[in-house]
Each structure stands twice: as C-alpha cells, then as structure tokens.
Amino acid sequence: MQPAAAKWYDRRDSVYVEFCVEDSKNVQVTFDKSKMDFSCITGTDNIKHQNVVELFGEIDPKESKHRRTDRSVLCCLRKAEAGKSWPRLTKDKAKCNWLSVDFNNWKDWEDDSDEDLSSFDKFSEMMNSMGGDDLPDLDGAEEEHDSADSDDEKMPDLE
C-alpha cells in the first residue's frame, strides 16, 4: 500500500482535501474527531492507496463528507470550531511528501474583516434599491438611436 497524492485548502468553516486518484474503486473514507482515514484501489494495475491523517484540529465527523469523481476523491471536513484557521492539515509539523497545498483554491480568508463584509452588503443593498426611474437622461440617447450610426455602414467584401 502507498499513500495517494493529495492537495488541501482551508476555509472559514471547512477544510477540503482532494485525493488525486484516477479511476478509483472501493473508496472508503472514515472521519473521526481528530483523524481521517482514506483508502481505495486505482487504475488497471489495482494499486492500493491508504492515507491515515492525524488532523491539525478537530472536525465534526457527522457533517464531513466525501465525493468521488473519475479523477479524484474530494473530502469536505467540517471544522468543529468554525472561524479558526488551520496553518497545516496534519497534527505533526513534519512534511508529508504526498501532501501539498492547493494554491488554486487557497484563499486568505482571515484578512476578511466583518467591516469589509458589511460595507459590501451596504453597497449591494444600495445598488438593489436604485430603480430605473432614478437614472438621469443620457443626453437624448434614445433620439439618436433612431438615426444611423457612422459604424453601421456596409463593410466591403473580403478578397
């Protein structure tokens, strides 16, 4: 048995782990409060993979899920304590050669302040409350619409 290659990223209420295994069969994922166990068989050579991960923080095993696709198995680990970032996936600081950060999905959500979010909500609310009747007249744009524009002329045929 060998570990499957995996990528992970952190969100405010969940941690996502994607095991990069193509054509997986017999996928088994078990979630424990502080650990996850992943195993499967892949490819035509029936290579057996197993990853036992002692997690950095605690998760809610009942709310954690996984989904298999043809190319990978994505696991969503629901954090027991939402809003607390995980600097790494594993409890140990030792580098795992099968594990890497998924920089395509990584987001530094800790920098999002509530003030910024409330400002965005106020902006959205303001935009939604603006009605079409409040828009200023665009210097007779409707009147010009009936006349032909200079760029509406017929283009010459290509040779």
pTM value is 0.67
The pLDDT score that the predictor gives to residue 117 is: 45
> Of the ranges 107-111, 113-117, 126-130, which one carries the lowest mean pLDDT score?
113-117
Residue 96 counted as domain residue: no
Domain, as residue range, for 28:
6-84
Q: Tell me the pLDDT tens digit for each residue of 1-38.
A: 899 999 999 999 999 999 999 999 999 999 999 999 99
For the chain, the domain total comes to 1
User: Of 80, 58, 75, 61, which Cα lies nearest the Cα of 17?
Assistant: 75
Mean pLDDT of 127-131: 51
Residue 37 counted as domain residue: yes
> pLDDT over 90 for what percent of the chain?
56
Q: What six digits make up the tokens of 94?
A: 């030792």
Residue 113 counted as domain residue: no
Residue 12 counted as domain residue: yes
Residue 69 counted as domain residue: yes
> Is pLDDT at 141 greater than 70 in this prediction?
no
The pLDDT score that the predictor gives to residue 158 is: 79
Rounded to the nearest 5 degrees, what angle is found at the Cα of 86, between the Cα atoms of 83 and 91? Answer: 135
Residue 74 counted as domain residue: yes
Question: 30-36: which pairs have CB atoms within 8 A and are 24 or more residues apart?
Answer: 31/59, 31/61, 31/64, 31/77, 32/61, 33/58, 33/59, 33/61, 33/80, 34/58, 34/59, 34/91, 36/64, 36/75, 36/77
Residue 106 counted as domain residue: no
Query: Partners of 18 in the beta sheet?
Result: 7, 74
Q: Tell me the pLDDT tens digit for each residue of 144-158.
A: 455 556 667 777 787
DSSP three-state, residue 56: coil
> Is pLDDT at 97 greater than 70 in this prediction?
yes
Residue 121 counted as domain residue: no
* CATH of residue 27: 2.60.40.790
Q: What six digits make up the tokens of 148?
A: 């032909």
